[in-house]
Structure 1
Amino acid sequence: MIKTRLLLCCLLLSTTAFSQQRYEPNWSSIDSRPVPAWFEDAKFGIFIHWGVFSVPAWAPTDASVYEKYAEWYWWRLLDPKAQTYQNFNDYHNRTYGKDFKYQDFVKGFTCEMFEPKAWAEVLKGSGAKYVVLTSKHHEGFTLWPSAQAWNWNAVDVGPHRDLAGDLSKAVKEAGLRMGYYYSLYEWFNPLYKSDVKKYVDEHMMPQMKDLVTRYEPDIFWTDGEWEHPSETWKSTEFLAWLYNESPVKNEVVVNDRWGKETRSVHGGIYTTEYDLVHDQGSAGKKIEHPWEECRGIGGSFGYNRNEDLSHYSSSKELIRILVDKVARGGNLLLNIGPTADGRIPVIMQQRLHDMGQWLGVNGEAIYGTRAWSKSPAITKETKVFFTQKGKDLYVICTSFPDKAIVVNDVKKPSKVALLGFRGSVSTSGSGKGLTINPPQVTPANNPCDHAWVFKLENAL
């Protein structure tokens, strides 16, 4: 009883100290705020790109990475410098006619099949611990009734429904954390094009604060920062408000996209995208800061009707991606792109289901773990990954080993087990080296598909 009371007192003191810290509107102060611990423990989240761009839902599949993004449809139509400018215009003029304006697509953003509770079940079944929805992409269309987006939001036009609010309620009721993606800039907003300062003060700032106070998100994930430095966006002013005054000041997680100089330098978690290398890109590296990789199941974030099976990662590939990111100390934010009528495409549901099945067996090697400090360097050819939790080490094999596995720099474990397997696992060796002899696994006793995990208890 005494120990329990002491623990509760410590937790209360810790929470109080965290909440009493006051942050100033400068990067030195803002960067001193720790990333809330829940994020690094969660490891796996689902990104959702959904908006007016989900109506044309088209992009070429043979272009460079960024040019494959279907959510950039409007911009690609009007940017003659874009590599795919002609592709988009040829498709658009052939399909809709050259006089058909992008704004007219909103009539097709009907969302009549959107069932928030059903979505939440799919998302929870994936094993993800948090969700990040595009509240507003670069097109400026908001999925909530934003006063700053009059007649260009999902309540005034299109589905006539608070999509952000409905999904947030369902996701939180399912026990997951809910977050929002928010684009700082808007491609064709007249105020942004004419007076950035006025846009920030009268449009962006009140819009962001409304989103936070209305839905109390666990994550505020910004983007579209690259045209201006953070000073222009008044990013530190907003973050000081978020950390000091907002209803989510203690638990909210933010990313690093707050100005053209901030990625992998300032903010909260660092972000990579399709494993592209930024200042401290993730490819093959362990980043010494909380970080997250975002990517789609296919080549696009927004739903792309032009993609076929060959453009989608398999369940095996997605599980390897998750393992790779977690073994290097990061999280995976895996994107789905719903359709304009409000469905999660079946192929995406199937991939999420498979990941959930795998995590149901092997989740303890993912959730709450950290990168093993003595892990060998990770490359594209790596087949054996390591995570650790306390004194336990997890050895994750993306192919079932056909020979013994040698693990160096560990103590003799108190127990070695293959997660989900009822039989025993034999080992040999002493001192700092340990040899794991894989058991005989058959279709009848195989614990999972795609990747297998050996747990070494008290090996560190």
Structure 2
Amino acid sequence: MGDESAAEEFRYEADWDSIRSRYEVPEWFRDAKFGIFLHWGPYAVPAFGSEKYPKRMYIDGISGKSQVNHYAHAEENYGKVGEFGYKDFIPMFKAEKFDAEEWAHLFRKAGARYVVPVAEHHDGFAMYASKHTRWNVAEMGPKKDTMRLLAEAVRSEGMKFGASSHYALNRAYYPKKNPDWDTNDPEYADLYWNPIEKGALPSKEFLDHWWDRTTDIIDQYEPDVLWFDFGLDKPGFDSVHAPILAYYYNKGLDWGKEVVFQDKNMKNESFPEDVIVLDIERGRMADIRELPWQTDTAVGVKSWGYIEDEEYKTSDYLLDELIDIVSKNGCMLLNIGPKADGTIPQEDREIMLDMGDWLALNGEAIYGTRPWKIFGEGPTKVSAGHHSESQNADNVAADVRFTQKNGVLYATSLAWAEGGSFTIESLAKGNPHDSRKIDSVFFVSGGKPVEWKQCKKGLVIEAGEHMPCEAAYVFRIKFAD
């Protein structure tokens, strides 16, 4: 009885040791493997350059991956910058075709197990019914709580629901070099924030406002996942790190559910690595990480939000990336960018459905799995760290990734082998990883048992000449008792 009472009374203190004493990354997250990220806001109205249009429309010059001039685009299409400012896109952001249930159904068909929309980006516009700023989606633009609608729809489809906060960068986001710009008008300081000196640390006023907005998201929407962008790791935010983590984890206790806090600082300077989930932006790990982690990346190359001339990755590439991440104890959070009217671009939709089709056939090698003794084999190297994805080459059939579940080993080749003949060198006779005799090999992707032999050069599998799906090919390997 004493232990039960102590468990009921436990509260996390704003102290790393207190948090470490109790918190573990929940099994549901480790099992989920694949989530959908959503960058959606007024920056979808110009649909140009990138989601950083709110900032770059005040900078006259070429910038961003698109290498375009946002300032010139704004002046050509909307009028003189400063007279027409970012605030003026908000009434044009109507989301008139937004259908939360249709979105959630699509994400479920894509194979996602959790969904994380952006609650507020650097632009300062709250994509939820904020109690601390008038610049929010319930009072302006769509004039409805799209976050609430999406949360209900996602959860009704059996998925977990999260929220991301990028607001920490808002204080230093908008250029203010021209005194006549609306970014310097005190009337709009609650959107653009007050002018600050270069290099200045966040003021108490900003930290308090950040706290109010962040806890408002937590309290209202009870997110299963709370994701933070790089801004929270900037100098001057250290005073809120342990308190916000304790606040969120205590809310999880109040709600009776296990929650996940995600941050990007790989050096563990903001949050110790064992009390949160590390998130890597547009990058991966080179090897298995003992602690669970996540990659956040996007279907698009240029932007996180919707733009009209996006360059899209292939579903084949993204599936290879997902499989590699899972083999190393990670999850993938894949971003799409809906249009301003609330529709999801056809390219985004097709990529998600392709991934869903593959996962429907091969998901047993992904969901609920854990890493094997090695992540895989093959000639194609993976670059590690934030923003490293552009350095990665396409995979070949000799690139194999391993996962395991319930005593079964899964080997997934990341391309089709010539003639359907696959050789897995790490499972050669006498290999150092597993001395047990192989009992059977089943071709999951093809839905059939296959001929195989274990010899000194490897496990040689004859899958037949028919390629049953695109992207990658899964074999279920059982060992003799």
TM-score, length of structure 1 as denominator length: 0.84
How big is the shift at 1:327?
1.2
Is contact 1:227–1:260 with CA below 8 Å preserved after alignment?
no
Which runs of 5 or more residues in structure 2 are unaligned? 175-188, 197-201, 383-394
AA of the residue aligned to 2:115: V
How big is the shift at 1:22?
3.2
AA of the residue aligned to 1:96: Y
| Number of matched pairs | 421
Is contact 2:226–2:260 with CA below 8 Å preserved after alignment?
yes
Q: Percent identity over the alignment?
A: 33
Aligned partner of 2:219 among 198, 203, 213: 213
1:401 maps to 2:391? no
Aligned partner of 1:387 among 385, 396, 403: 403
How big is the shift at 1:317?
1.0
Change (3 A) 1:305 1:425: same
Give the corresponding residue for 1:23.
12
Q: Distance in 2 between matches of 1:260 and 1:92?
A: 40
1:162-213 CA distance string (max 9 Å, x none): 0000000000001111000112422355566566212222x22222222222
Give the corresponding residue for 1:94.
76
Alignment of 1:222-261 (within 5 A): 222-223=228-229, 224-232=231-239, 234-246=240-252, 247-248=254-255, 250-257=257-264, 261=269
Q: Which moved more, 1:340-349 or 1:247-256?
A: 247-256
1:356-389 CA distance string (max 9 Å, x none): 0000010010001112123446724562111111
Q: Distance in 1 between matches of 2:11 and 2:194?
A: 31
Q: Distance in 1 between matches of 2:63 and 2:448?
A: 56
Q: Which moved more, 1:414-423 or 1:137-146?
A: 414-423
AA of the residue aligned to 1:164: M
How big is the shift at 1:144?
1.5
Q: Distance in 1 between matches of 2:463 and 2:13?
A: 57
Is contact 1:392–1:456 with CA below 8 Å preserved after alignment?
yes
Is contact 1:228–1:260 with CA below 8 Å preserved after alignment?
no
Q: Distance in 1 between matches of 2:316 and 2:294?
A: 20
How big is the shift at 1:437?
2.0
Aligned partner of 2:294 among 292, 295, 298: 292
Aligned partner of 2:58 among 78, 98, 102: 78
Is contact 1:292–1:332 with CA below 8 Å preserved after alignment?
yes
AA of the residue aligned to 1:365: A
What SS class does the counterpart of residue 371 from structure 1 fall into? coil
Q: Distance in 2 between matches of 1:218 and 1:375?
A: 28
1:217-248 CA distance string (max 9 Å, x none): 1111122224334424x121121122224544
Change (3 A) 1:192 1:184: farther
Change (3 A) 1:86 1:440: closer
AA of the residue aligned to 1:34: E
Q: Distance in 2 between matches of 1:161 and 1:43?
A: 31
1:302 maps to 2:305? yes
Q: Distance in 1 between matches of 2:329 and 2:106?
A: 26
What SS class does the counterpart of residue 71 from structure 1 fall into? coil
What SS class does the counterpart of residue 57 from structure 2 fall into? helix
AA of the residue aligned to 1:56: P
How big is the shift at 1:107?
1.5
What SS class does the counterpart of residue 272 from structure 1 fall into? strand
Alignment of 1:108-257 (within 5 A): 108-150=92-134, 152-185=135-168, 186=170, 187=173, 196-201=203-208, 203-223=209-229, 224-232=231-239, 234-246=240-252, 247-248=254-255, 250-257=257-264
Change (3 A) 1:95 1:392: same
Q: Distance in 1 between matches of 2:349 and 2:247?
A: 38
Give the corresponding residue for 2:178.
none
Alignment of 1:407-426 (within 5 A): 407=427, 408=431, 409-410=433-434, 411-426=436-451
1:448 maps to 2:469? yes
Is contact 1:230–1:236 with CA below 8 Å preserved after alignment?
no
Change (3 A) 1:213 1:263: closer
How big is the shift at 1:353?
0.5
Is contact 1:43–1:367 with CA below 8 Å preserved after alignment?
yes
Is contact 2:376–2:400 with CA below 8 Å preserved after alignment?
no
Give the corresponding residue for 2:391.
none
What SS class does the counterpart of residue 223 from structure 2 fall into? coil
Q: Distance in 2 between matches of 1:324 and 1:400?
A: 16
Aligned partner of 1:53 among 43, 54, 63: 43
AA of the residue aligned to 1:93: E
Is contact 2:327–2:376 with CA below 8 Å preserved after alignment?
no
What SS class does the counterpart of residue 370 from structure 1 fall into? coil
Change (3 A) 1:287 1:423: closer
What CA RMSD, in Å, does the superposition of the two structures yield over aligned residues?
2.8
How big is the shift at 1:257?
4.5
Q: Distance in 2 between matches of 1:192 and 1:373?
A: 53
TM-score, length of structure 2 as denominator length: 0.80
Aligned partner of 2:461 among 437, 445, 450: 437
